[in-house]
Amino acid sequence: MQLSKEDVLKRANLACKNTLMETLSIEVVDYGADFLVARMPVNNKVHQPDGVLHGGATAALAESVGSFASHIFIDTETYFVRGLEITANHLKSIKEGFVYAKATFLHKGRTTQLLDIRVTDQDDNLISICKLSTISLPKK
């Protein structure tokens, strides 16, 4: 059964209840055939002490959107997906507004996946570039 875009987004956001994603107010906002987008507000909950977006919050956003992408595009009836490694290069600071993370696959293998995650601000300025590797393991 093929789910509508609205159903996929609703299911993804319902899965965020009582998790780190809810704590950081991360919301899945768009997806297509080969990408997934989530956003996170930049406010005092995700600031460093000097008032800019914390790199750890950015990494949490990137891992969240990348993991969701793997869950959506991998057969999760048969497999479960776990993150293996994440890297983040922070290029620009931001104090307020929203950041958007767009995850696309660089490699979508049966066992391992590699995702490119671009984090941008509301004006599409590049804030961080992240890479996430995931693994699909058979459910027992």
| pLDDT bucket at 5, cuts 50 / 70 / 90 | confident
pTM over 0.85: yes
Mean pLDDT of 98-117: 95
Q: What letter represents residue 106's amino acid? A: L
The single residue of 22, 63, 85, 96 carrying the catalytic annotation is 63
Give how far Cα 4 sits from Cα of 25, 73, 75, Å. Answer: 23, 14, 17
Task: Please give the biggest Cα pair distance in the chain.
Answer: 48
Residue 72: predicted pLDDT: 82
Residue 77: predicted pLDDT: 79
Residue 57: predicted pLDDT: 98
- Give yes or no: 22 in active site: no
pLDDT tens column, 52-107: 999 999 999 999 999 989 888 887 778 889 999 999 999 999 999 999 999 999 99
d(CA 55, CA 7): 31
d(CA 35, CA 137): 22
Q: Which of 83, 123, 129 is nearest to 102 (CA)?
A: 129
Return the beta strands (E) in 15-125 as ranges.
27-31, 35-42, 79-90, 97-108, 112-121
Residue 1: predicted pLDDT: 57
